[in-house]
């Protein structure tokens, strides 16, 4: 598809295209910014444009809509969602809060707007430990990702009450997979996402958000890396560091919702500025407090 056509549409609509690191390579190439959840949330809060077209999943576009209600936020595919985000409901979180009335509530940004509205603060994979340590409470309810909760619990003195959600793309990695990959690539550094299980994290050299993996690989003297996250991540790593080698921990680690977007969907979203993502007040105003607190850290 003609890149010029996309550029003309962006100009006409005064729109910016944001894409997550897991998006298809062709989509990343037409995006104005490609990043992890934290970078994309920051950009959404600061951008000077009329419309944001989000190539990602719904919670990412909702976060942008919550932070920039004056902009038109469009998701490239209406039903692109994060299954983990739906593994906790606001009513279940309210029930947990009643059980632990003195606890602070941290929700991973991979959550619904209703859950964010019930939380004190959000975090992403890049800042979970920092966010938890910034809380005044000694006991923290952390939802929905049980693996990220376990990772945070190992890096804080606070008591973590974890949710029971998980990401099917990351939870599938096993110790055997890491051992096999290391045997095949003995000089490779192992980078994994904190949504992986604890026993997989234990075998890694570094645990990073998606964009954190780019920084880690860039700063490392190593020439080879095993990448324990969704396979889309291989594209930005290889594009930014053509001299280094990147091996997926598993080629089956595919987030099917992230893959629903292709170039034709980006073009259609730019043409129609639909499907628009709107988070109704007062949910948005409560969720905004939790997201803004994170951005303020």
Q: Which residues bind ligand SF4 (CB under 6 A)?
A: 57, 82-84, 110, 167, 169, 195, 230, 255, 257-258
CB of 229 vs ligand SF4, minimal distance in Å: 8
CB of 255 vs ligand SF4, minimal distance in Å: 3
Q: Which residue lies nearer to ligand 13P by CB, 52 or 82?
A: 82
Site for ligand 13P in 33-62 (CB under 6 A): 36-37
Q: Which residue lies nearer to ligand SF4 by CB, 9 or 64?
A: 64
Give the angle 103-94-152 at the CA atoms, nearest 5°: 45
Q: Choose from ligand SF4, ligand 13P, none: what does 21 bind? Cβ within 5-8 Å by kind.
A: ligand 13P
Site for ligand 13P in 205-234 (CB under 6 A): 209-210
Question: Looking at 106, 141, 167, 234, which residue binds ligand 13P (CB under 6 A)?
Answer: 167
The answer to whether 84 and 165 are in contact (CB under 8 A) is: yes
Q: Which residue lies nearer to ligand SF4 by CB, 13 or 211?
A: 211
**One-character DSSP codes across the chain:** --HHHHHHHHHHHTEEEEEETTS-HHHHHH-SEEE-HHHHHHHHHH--SSEEEEES-HHHHHHHHHH-TTSEEEESSTT---GGGGGS-HHHHHHHHHHSTT-EEEEESSS-HHHHHT-SEEE-TTTHHHHHHT-S-SEEEEESBHHHHHHHHTT-SSEEEE--B--HHHHT--HHHHHHHHHHSTTPEEEE-TTS-HHHHTT-SEE--HHHHHHHHHH-S-SEEEEES-GGGHHHHHHH-TTSEEEES-TT---TTGGG--HHHHHHHHHH--SB----TTHHHHHHHHHHHHHH-
110 binds ligand 13P (CB under 6 A): yes
CB of 165 vs ligand SF4, minimal distance in Å: 9
Q: Which residue lies nearer to ligand SF4 by CB, 160 or 231?
A: 231
124 binds ligand 13P (CB under 6 A): yes
The answer to whether 125 and 213 are in contact (CB under 8 A) is: no
CB of 212 vs ligand 13P, minimal distance in Å: 7
Strand pairing category for 189-192 and 139-143: unpaired
Q: Which residue lies nearer to ligand 13P by CB, 63 or 268?
A: 63
CB of 41 vs ligand 13P, minimal distance in Å: 9
Q: Choose from ligand 13P, ligand SF4, none: what does 209 bind? Cβ within 5-8 Å by kind.
A: ligand 13P
CB of 212 vs ligand SF4, minimal distance in Å: 15
Q: Which residue lies nearer to ligand SF4 by CB, 103 or 287?
A: 287
CB of 244 vs ligand 13P, minimal distance in Å: 20
Instruction: Find where tokens 């939802």 sit.
Output: 143
250 binds ligand 13P (CB under 6 A): no
Residues that bind ligand 13P (CB under 6 A): 21, 36-37, 110, 124-125, 167, 195, 209-210
């Amino acid at each position: 598809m003609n890149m010029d056509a996309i550029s003309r549409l962006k100009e006409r609509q005064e729109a910016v295209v944001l894409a997550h690191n897991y998006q298809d390579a062709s989509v990343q190439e037409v995006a104005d910014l490609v990043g992890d959840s934290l970078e994309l949330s920051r950009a959404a809060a600061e951008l000077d444009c009329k419309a944001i077209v989000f190539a990602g999943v719904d919670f990412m576009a909702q976060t942008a809509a919550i932070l920039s209600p004056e902009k038109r936020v469009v998701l490239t595919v209406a039903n692109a969602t994060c299954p983990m985000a739906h593994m906790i409901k606001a009513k279940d979180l309210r029930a947990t809060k009643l059980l632990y009335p003195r606890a602070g509530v941290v929700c991973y940004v991979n959550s619904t707007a209703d859950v964010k509205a019930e939380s004190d603060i959000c975090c992403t994979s890049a800042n979970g430990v920092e966010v938890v340590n910034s809380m005044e409470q000694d006991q923290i309810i952390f939802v929905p990702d049980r693996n990220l909760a376990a990772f945070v619990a190992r890096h804080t003195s606070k008591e973590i009450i974890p949710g029971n959600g998980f990401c099917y793309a990351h939870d599938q990695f096993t110790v055997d997979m890491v051992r096999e990959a290391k045997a095949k690539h003995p000089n490779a550094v192992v980078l994994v996402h904190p949504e992986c299980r604890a026993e997989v994290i234990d075998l890694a050299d570094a645990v990073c958000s998606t964009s954190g993996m780019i920084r880690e690989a860039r700063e490392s003297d190593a020439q080879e890396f095993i990448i324990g996250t969704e396979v889309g991540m291989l594209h930005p790593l290889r594009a930014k560091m053509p001299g280094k080698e990147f091996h997926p921990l598993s080629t089956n680690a595919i987030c099917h919702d992230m893959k629903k977007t292709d170039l034709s969907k980006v073009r259609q979203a730019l043409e129609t500025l639909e499907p628009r993502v709107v988070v109704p007040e007062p949910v948005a105003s409560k969720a905004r407090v939790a997201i803004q607190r994170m951005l303020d850290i």
